[in-house]
Amino acid sequence: MKKGDYTILIADDDPDYLFQTVYVLKKAGYKTIAVESQAEAESVLSKFKPDLAIFDLMMENDDSGFILCYRLKRKYPEVPVILATAVARETGMSFSLDSETEKSWIRADRYLEKGIRADQLDQEIMKLLKL
């Protein structure tokens, strides 16, 4: 399969970040579905299985991204999830997927700080999709 065969769901309540991420992913060759809330993402997931998802951590709730990771993995355990957030910059709190304990409750496959370069994001996606 080639990049154009993959659809990525992006959920982020920051319209500028959402626009930029969609632009970067389309330029890299992926199809995208962009939503601005946890509720919209859950609606998409009830009807459609994406090939990969990128969720913001804090949307209408401080833990929206965690909830979306959990719900997506419960329904589609094989779909890779990237949790993209600026929480460390905004709050000083940080998370990682370095330990099994963190992996067990975060349920994401990658945890990336916002501001990641377009080529780095594409590399992470290609690794997760095994391209």
Q: pLDDT tens digits, the chain, 131 residues: what are they?
A: 899 999 999 999 999 999 999 999 999 999 999 999 999 999 999 999 999 999 998 888 878 888 999 999 999 999 999 998 875 444 445 554 455 554 444 567 888 888 889 999 999 999 999 99
Cα distance between residue 97 and residue 94, in whole Å: 11
Contact predicate 97/128, CB 8 Å: no
Q: Strands 110-113 and 7-11: what pairing?
A: unpaired
Pick among 3.40.50.2300, 3.40.640.10, 3.40.50.300, 3.40.630.30: CATH of 3-129: 3.40.50.2300
Q: How far apart are CA 52 and CA 125, in angstroms?
A: 8
User: pTM of this prediction?
Assistant: 0.86
